[in-house]
Amino acid sequence: MVISSTQNISEDQRQFNQIKTSDSENKIKRIRHNGQIQIYQSSYRGSYATIIRDSLRNAALGRKVLLAQLMKGGVKQGVSNPIRLCGNLLWIRPETSPEQNNDPNTINSDSISISIKNSIIELWEFCKKQLLSGEQDQVILDEIFRPIELGIISEDDLISTLDNRFLSGDVILTGTSIPKKFLLMADQFTELRS
């Protein structure tokens, strides 16, 4: 039996599904996700207006959507101050970001302060909990590959989280440079051109 619903699911159902066998012994089987992993790649940053538009439309239709922009900032959101749109879209950015003080095209791991790294890590930890909990119907991780490239987030951590997610909806990942491991995991890959 596979549970696929946008309704809230109890913690017990979220973790395991018990199946009775003919000899009356209980076997426990982990419920797997059935949402897709979609990856959008573009040669330039800021080209994902269609994804943001679709997230607003999904929220207006009643789906719970998390839009996390990991490399955008300047509006002092952070995990403690997200913005809610259409009642169902949770839009969140790091409390501080590299773009506030630097040219986005020249950012490297040495130019990012510890407070900015911690802000991005805090946001990633929040996103991880959302992916593993099944509370959202759709999760969008905008520019997730940039913090991986900068060594702020571990590639293996993202892979593990995607493998263990509990989500009936889609996970959308965006970036300008996509590691090959993620292309192999994707159910859909879209390259946006100017």
pTM of the predicted protein model: 0.75
- pLDDT, tens digit, 9 for 90 and up, residues 59-91: 999 999 999 998 886 666 788 888 888 889 999
The radius of gyration computed from the CA coordinates of the chain, to the nearest angstrom, equals: 18
Band (33; pLDDT cuts 50, 70, 90): low
- Amino acid (one-letter) located at 97: S
Q: Is 107 helix (H, G, I), strand (E, B) or coil?
A: coil
The domain defined by 33-192 folds into Rossmann fold (3.40.50)
pLDDT score of 128: 95
